[in-house]
Amino acid sequence: MPDRETTVARLRELVEDFVARRDWHQFHTPKNLAMSLAIEAAELMEHFQWLTAEQSCAVVGEPKKLAEVSEELADVLCYALAMANELGIDLSAAIQAKLAKNEQKYPADQYRGRFGPDDPNTAGR
Amino acid sequence: MPDRETTVARLRELVEDFVARRDWHQFHTPKNLAMSLAIEAAELMEHFQWLTAEQSCAVVGEPKKLAEVSEELADVLCYALAMANELGIDLSAAIQAKLAKNEQKYPADQYRGRFGPDDPNTAGR
Amino acid sequence: MPDRETTVARLRELVEDFVARRDWHQFHTPKNLAMSLAIEAAELMEHFQWLTAEQSCAVVGEPKKLAEVSEELADVLCYALAMANELGIDLSAAIQAKLAKNEQKYPADQYRGRFGPDDPNTAGR
Amino acid sequence: MPDRETTVARLRELVEDFVARRDWHQFHTPKNLAMSLAIEAAELMEHFQWLTAEQSCAVVGEPKKLAEVSEELADVLCYALAMANELGIDLSAAIQAKLAKNEQKYPADQYRGRFGPDDPNTAGR
């Protein structure tokens, strides 16, 4: 069931089912889930901790490392889906709303090739 | 376009389009994206920092706070989608694989109502 | 050499010596050290992830758990000291300056028993 | 009162005094302090998020940026000191014990110029 065919709602159901069968909703306060998501994000980051920028890009061609990174990314997403379930947040709507907001904040023609106003590469622009 | 009708691939396309139109792939090394995801996860956590467990659950009934949390969660997910795009990871497959692995690691009948072997509530079991 | 007798400069020297003898300054860019500090902070947080507030306080009386927490806290501090070394930051001066700033931002008489303006316990004040 | 003359115990007293005068011990559960420390670590990381390794090193010569980084680092340390106060941890002893442990784990002669066994620069050694 690849990304092409899988709805976000379907993934939310899979996580909900996993949590409910263990009676884990009692632990899934938004506070605990936010902590858990941050912990998994740090474990993902750990894979790139000492790598140079170039070495981190090369991970795309290293199957073993890529599998580990995929698993950490899945952990992050499972907690994001669990939080959406607890709080009744529609993630697709939230993402689309945020992209629309960022479209205004970072107009494509002003930010092409610049990550922000402080970008030292384009400070003289 | 709610979760019920939105595929993960569609969300990946929206993020890819946003990034490509700004020529931001140059900044989107996996190392930078992992850092960014962790930063957004911390901003999400900040909303629950000083709340009790109960107060964090009550956020579900506070529209203003809930909108802020939704936006931070969207930020986290945008970076997760961007990383999947850079590394060619199928997120739906990764999530299903991880849930299957956790199904083995935390058998439902052994972990019902326990978050782990160290759960002080059930240490005597 | 306990806290009572140990200067911050002495701790910085111990970390500097450890790093220099391994020729690790090349890895200790401020970017990498900030990532490392955040990773260790998440490992510290992991010890409290599923605990209630009360259970987290009880750790003070659990020697094994307390030793693990102490070790994670030491990891966090070693990276903070390493960053101070790389950037030439006087930590004692920085801490005193920040406390003075917070003294203005959170006047003791206004914030007694309140963590901030959003504290739901004192919203009606 | 610079690092050269300031003991860790003195910094702990300054934080303790700040917390006590606001009656904030009630919020300073180890769980909340671990979250807070991780949030501040992410804010520190944010200053280096989009910088290259070289740009992050150049911060040492940029007084405005350096002052911002110093302040974030102070925030991290204040929560570390607060946690030590709540849990009765001697930080100097913890740091020395951890450095001694790492001295065994990473013998200087084997890890000179290598960040770990996975360092891709020295994989052929």
What per-residue confidence (pLDDT) applies to C125?
47
Question: Could you tell me if B51 lies within 8 Å of chain D, comparing CB atoms?
Answer: no
The single-letter DSSP state of residue C106 is S
Q: Is B122 within 8 Å of B113 (Cβ atoms)?
A: yes
Residue with structure tokens 């559960």? D29
**What mean pLDDT is reported for chain D?**
95
- The predicted-structure confidence for A17-47, as pLDDT tens digits, reads as follows 999 999 999 999 999 999 999 999 999 999 9
Task: Kindly list the partner chains of chain B, i.e. chains with 3 or more CB atom pairs below 8 Å.
Answer: A, C, D
Q: Identify which of B27, B39, B49 has the shortest CB distance to residue D45.
A: B39
Q: For the segment D59-117, what is each residue's pLDDT rounded down to a tens digit?
A: 999 999 999 999 999 999 999 999 999 999 999 999 999 999 999 999 999 999 998 77
Q: Decide if B90 touches A, using CB distance below 8 A.
A: yes
Residues A52, C45 contacting (CB under 8 angstroms): no
- Does any CB of chain D come closer than 8 Å to the CB of residue A50? yes
For residue D10, the distance in angstroms to the closest alpha carbon of chain A comes to: 31
Over residues C61-89, the mean pLDDT reads: 98
Q: Which neighbouring-strand residues pair with B122? A: none
Place of tokens 């003791």: C108
C49:A36 CB<8 A: yes
Pair of tokens at residue C103: 């003294």
How far apart are the C-alpha atoms of A90 and B7, rounded to whole Å? 13
Interface contact C49-A35, CB threshold 8 A: yes
Contact D119 A50 (CB under 8 A): yes
Q: Do the beta carbons of residue A119 and residue B22 sit within 8 Å?
A: no
Q: Which residues of D touch C82 (CB under 8 A)?
A: none
- Element counts in chain A: helices (H) and strands (E): 6, 0
Digit-coded pLDDT (tens) for D15-69: 999 999 999 999 999 999 999 999 999 999 999 999 999 999 999 999 999 999 9
Residue D123, pLDDT score: 53
A105: left (phi over 0), alpha (psi -120 to 50) or beta: alpha
**pLDDT above 70: percentage of residues in chain B:** 96
pTM beyond 0.80: the answer is: yes
CA distance C17 to chain A (A): 20
Q: Is the Cβ pair C119, B53 closer than 8 Å?
A: no
Mutate to test the interface with A, among C45, C55, C75, C76 (most CBs of A within 10 A): C45
Mutate to test the interface with D, among C70, C104, C112, C114 (most CBs of D within 10 A): C70
Angle between helices B91-105 and B63-87 (to 10 degrees): 100
- Paired tokens of A44: 């993902």
The whole-angstrom separation of Cα D27 and Cα C113 is 9
Residues 6+ positions from A96 with CB-CB distance below 8 Å: B1, B14
Looking at the complex, report in whole angstroms how far the Cα of residue D123 sits from the nearest Cα belonging to chain C: 16
Q: ipTM greater than 0.90, yes or no? A: yes
At A124 the pLDDT is 47
